[in-house]
Amino acid sequence: MSAFTWPPDPSTPGEFPQASAEVVAAAVLVPLFDVSGDPHVVLTRRRSDLRRHAGEISFPGGRRDAEDADLAETALREAEEEIGLPRGQASLLGELPPTSTFVTGYLIHPFVASIPAGLKWVPSESEVDAVLELSVQEVRDSRERIEMTRRGFTFETDVYVVGEHLIWGATARIIENLLERLGEGLPGAPSPAV
């Protein structure tokens, strides 16, 4: 596996401000692994019968529990609960900029981690319909701007459409930040460190 380092540009800080009291603090894990020089990212497809974000593509994560020492622990705990990723298999690399959810009032802190390739996933039966392993290059190439209607509102937004998977909202904004951090160093070019 290629070694990932964070941040790729040493002049760019790897830490960002924590959530204020006005929003709900949450964290997600952005797991990355390498397959023959081709970086992949792990996401989930949420169950279609969930009350919130049903059927949407997301990173494993959730709100901070009182027992969590910090938001990084929240991200690791949630990934273990949702996809069966053992905490010891995730090497934290850093944090992407926090991302707000417009409707639900969360401030999501995305933590990037390097994981080994070939892990066997154990999706949470109550939350996760599928675990997705997507090539970062394929995700990058799939960006589109579309018109969507949600909860009676029609709007234009940037999305990623990989096969049958529509990635939008906070997850798409996190991916955009990830891709900016990764730069252009994907297959065929010298690979930057993450």
The per-residue pLDDT for range 18-75, each reduced to its tens digit, is 444 468 899 999 999 999 989 999 999 977 665 655 558 999 999 999 999 999 999 9
Cα of 4 vs its chain's centroid, Å:
16
Q: φ and ψ at 78, to 5 degrees?
A: -65, -40
- When the pLDDT of each residue in the chain is averaged and rounded to a whole number, the result is 81
> Tokens 């160093």 appear where?
185
Q: What is the pLDDT of residue 23?
A: 80
Is the four-CA dihedral 94, 88, 114, 1 of positive or negative sign?
positive
pLDDT at 148 over 90: no
Residue in 185, 176, 186, 12 with CA at minimum distance from that of residue 93: 12
Q: Which band of pLDDT confidence, cut at 50, 70 and 90, is reported for residue 125?
A: confident
Q: What is the pLDDT of residue 48?
A: 61
Is the four-CA dihedral 193, 161, 75, 100 of positive or negative sign?
positive
Q: What is the pLDDT of residue 54?
A: 53
Domains of the chain, earliest start first:
24-141+169-182 (3.90.79.10)
Residue scoring higher pLDDT (186 or 106)? 106
Q: How far apart are CA 129 and CA 31, in angstroms?
A: 18
Question: How many CB atoms sit inside 10 A of residue 166's CB?
Answer: 18
Distances from the Cα of 51 to the Cα of 46, 56, 57, angstroms: 11, 12, 15
Q: What is the pLDDT of residue 127?
A: 86
Question: How many CB atoms sit inside 10 A of residue 74's CB?
Answer: 24
Q: Which band of pLDDT confidence, cut at 50, 70 and 90, is reported for residue 185?
A: very low
Instruction: Indicate the range of 46-55, 75-84, 105-114, 122-131 predicted with least confidence.
Output: 46-55
Mean predicted confidence (pLDDT) in 142-162 = 81
DSSP strand E in the chain: where? 24-35, 38-46, 57-58, 61-63, 91-95, 99-100, 106-114, 128-135, 143-150, 153-162, 165-167
Q: How far apart are CA 32 and CA 112, in angstroms?
A: 7
| C-beta of residue 59 within 8 angstroms of C-beta of residue 110 | yes
Instruction: Indicate the range of 33-37, 69-73, 100-104, 158-162 predicted with least confidence.
Output: 100-104
Mean predicted confidence (pLDDT) in 94-107 = 85
Residue scoring higher pLDDT (85 or 49)? 85
Residue scoring higher pLDDT (96 or 149)? 96
